[in-house]
Amino acid sequence: MTRTILASALFFVSVSTAAAQDNVPQMIEIPAGYYWMGSSGWGHDYDEAPVHKVNISSPFRMSVTEITNAQYELFRPEHRSLRGRDGFSTEDNDAVVNVSYEDALAYCRWLSEKTGKTFRLPTEAEWEYACRAGTYTLYYTGDGLPESMQKHQQTERNMVQVSLEVAQSEPNAFGLYDMHGNVEEWCLDWYGPYPSDEVSDPAGPDKGMFKVTRGGSHNTPHAFLRSANRSAAIPSDRHSQIGFRIVESEVIPERHAPELKTAKVNQRKAKWRKGSEVPLWTPPVPYIHTPDDSTPFYRHNHQPAVTWCDNGDLLAIWFSCDAESGREMVVLSSRLRKGEKQWSKPQLFFKVPDRNMTGCSLLHLPDGRLMHVNGVSNAGDWKTLAMSVRFSADNGMTWTAPELVNGHTMRHQVIAGPIVTSDGSLVQCCDAGPGGHDGTAVHISKDNGITWTDPWDGAPLPEFIDGGTGSTIAGIHAGIVELGDGSLMALGRGNSITDKEGRKRMPMSISRDGGRTWTYHATEFTPIDGGQRLVLMRLQEGPLLLVSFTDHPQRTPEEFRGIDFGGVKGYGMFAAVSYDEGKTWPVKKLMTDGVERMLDGGAWTKQFIMDGTHAEPRGYLAGTQTPDGTIHILSSRLHYSFNLAWLLQ
């Protein structure tokens, strides 16, 4: 540590909380020096390693506080209409929020032109250097935060409203306020791995998918407020937990990030054989394995999506986490390469750092591209997700930058199984809320996934009764198909409907107006529940396929458990086929070949026995059908493959 830093550690400045003249941000000089950036990177904080030496070659000036509403609205007066959104940032001297990365850059350009000085966002390295102010403890206040700096530091499904007024607690040794909490702050850098060698004035990689944010925010656990903690966001994101501060500097930061390596994928187009009339069944095999590298991998692996690629591969994705409401959640992928029998080891597929990533889908588009849709939270719970969409034209080897197509609200928890309708529209189902009986929303794109609309009219959930109507699909985690007359039909979990015999049944929802209104009907199937998700799809051969569960082993009364399969009662995952658009399901088959096996279903399923009368009892299902007619069903850990001929056997 240089003498400059040692001296500055004793430095303190008294700063007025009032706005500076003309609301130009008050700036303070940060001396040149060096420090050791990052942390040991244990566990969830893997991206903070390695610790490496960083030289800050020249002094720079940093705004004493985050940019406030009053300061930002001199540049963009119309932003005043966003004050108070979600209950935050209402006053002039509150930190401005609901600003994107580009909004922050535009403010810097405007202020530079107005003053004749050079303003920009801080680099990630400058930000941590300024935050630490000569310290190497968890926070510049030590290994804990004083009460005066805390603003409800825990995750809540409904965020607790707090004041975002700046400069209300003690500054650090450089005279900077609110470096821990209040709101996250945009940095200049693209997010990427740290270099291992000594660097000077670094600024991350040349390109990327996410921009770094630092400092943590209100309604965020303490660990995300540490000096070393790294967060990031999609550059177009705007919500109530990100703002920014600025620096004045002539230094042009240097790019110092290792080149990211992309796993090679065969690009030769596969030749598919036509569907066979010979029955095909392959015993279930795991598609989730433990990685043998540094890929982040947690104890809970769940909620898959799957699609086929033009090169003949199958691509599966799912989330991995310690807690389903955790910010550590990552989306991993594995690949079953054409001609191989074992799925590859997991790789990191998609992760916005420090954001919950609940819900994903994959779809093979008619033009051969793949579409990936994923939920992205502003924090650590899945209630307020936004939908991000990206595309691949090379069998999933590389992807376009993710684009957010809506804001952080309910009705955006992405469900596997999107479809392409006869008029070319894309239909994506999303849970309408975080609860188990909140129903399912549909989002429709008529421009190949660029823009999406939710036809919901804002009406609250109806009472789900046979013959009733409403504007939300009955049941969460719904599967959806287009019927021959252009209507949409969906089956879901929860919101069960009582049939004429007084039995609770799985609900069916039908829309004849593009998803604006739905009519509800009781099906012949037993409702499913926690740890279960169905697949509904139209087969290439024409009929509809439902893969679901005979019952819930822990929640279905014994007298209603099981289904009669040709005179033998069976339990667990089954497939049903309909030739009359879902009116009847004459073909039903238990998903087993009768061979006794002990299997591990992962997630909530764990170990189970498969035999002649028992199949997998629970699991979140996802499905696709390859051009050769093979049907592929993923549960929470296992891959099943079979064809229509086997179902009809």
Span 549-577, average pLDDT:
94
Answer yes or no: are the C-beta atoms of 208 and 235 closer than 8 Å.
no
Neighbouring C-beta atoms of residue 164, cutoff 10 Å: 28
7, pLDDT greater than 50: no
What region does 515 belong to: left with phi over 0, alpha with psi -120 to 50, or beta?
left
Express each pLDDT in 204-261 by its tens digit.
Answer: 998 999 999 999 999 999 999 999 999 999 999 999 999 999 999 998 888 765 666 6
pLDDT band of 286, cuts 50, 70, 90: very high
Mean pLDDT of the chain: 94
Residue 273 burial (C-beta neighbours within 10 Å; 0-12, 13-18, 19+): exposed
Architecture of the domain made up of 3-248: Alpha-Beta Complex (3.90)
The reported pLDDT for the residue numbered 256 is 65
The reported pLDDT for the residue numbered 260 is 61
Helix and strand totals (H; E) in the chain:
5, 44
Q: What is the DSSP letter of 284?
A: E
In degrees and rounded to multiples of 5, residue 504 shows phi and psi of -75, 130
Q: For residue 591, what are the CA distances in angstroms to 364, 402, 551?
A: 25, 37, 14
Q: For residue 558, what are the CA distances in angstroms to 418, 548, 562, 575, 617?
A: 34, 18, 9, 21, 14
Nearest to 118 by CA among 22, 250, 227: 250
Kind plus residue range of the DSSP H or E element containing 63: strand 60-63
Express each pLDDT in 489-498 by its tens digit.
Answer: 999 999 999 9
Q: What is the DSSP letter of 283?
A: E
d(CA 454, CA 472): 10
Structure tokens at 521: 């009907």
d(CA 300, CA 256): 34
Q: What is the DSSP letter of 194?
A: P
Nearest to 213 by CA among 102, 124, 140, 104: 124
Express each pLDDT in 47-90 by its tens digit.
Answer: 999 999 999 999 999 999 999 999 999 999 999 999 999 999 99
The reported pLDDT for the residue numbered 322 is 96
Neighbouring C-beta atoms of residue 269, cutoff 10 Å: 12
d(CA 182, CA 176): 13
The reported pLDDT for the residue numbered 253 is 86
Span 126-149, average pLDDT:
97
Q: What is the DSSP letter of 127?
A: H
269, pLDDT greater than 90: yes
Region(s) of the chain under CATH 3.90.1580.10? 3-248
d(CA 408, CA 388): 11
Span 430-441, average pLDDT:
96
Answer yes or no: are the C-beta atoms of 121 and 187 closer than 8 Å.
yes
The reported pLDDT for the residue numbered 13 is 35
How many CA atoms, within 13 angstroms, populate the side-chain half-sphere of residue 308?
20
Q: Read off the pTM.
A: 0.94
Query: Is the preceding peptide bond at 25 cis, omega within 30 degrees of 0?
Result: no
Architecture of the domain made up of 289-417: 6 Propeller (2.120)
How many CA atoms, within 13 angstroms, populate the side-chain half-sphere of residue 16?
7
Answer yes or no: are the C-beta atoms of 151 and 218 closer than 8 Å.
yes
Contacts of 640 (CB under 8 A, 6+ apart): 282, 284, 591, 632, 633, 634
d(CA 359, CA 409): 14
162, pLDDT greater than 70: yes
The reported pLDDT for the residue numbered 252 is 84
Q: Which amino acid is it at 253?
A: P
Structure tokens at 84: 């108070």
In degrees and rounded to multiples of 5, residue 82 shows phi and psi of -90, -5
Express each pLDDT in 445-489 by its tens digit.
Answer: 999 999 999 999 999 999 999 999 999 999 999 999 999 999 999
Q: Are strands 413-414 and 426-431 parallel, antiparallel or unpaired?
A: antiparallel
The set of long-range contacts for 81-89, using a CB threshold of 8 Å and a minimum separation of 24, is 85/240, 86/159, 86/239, 86/240, 87/159, 87/161, 87/240, 88/159, 88/161, 88/162, 88/164, 88/218, 88/240, 89/164, 89/240
Answer yes or no: are the C-beta atoms of 437 and 464 closer than 8 Å.
no
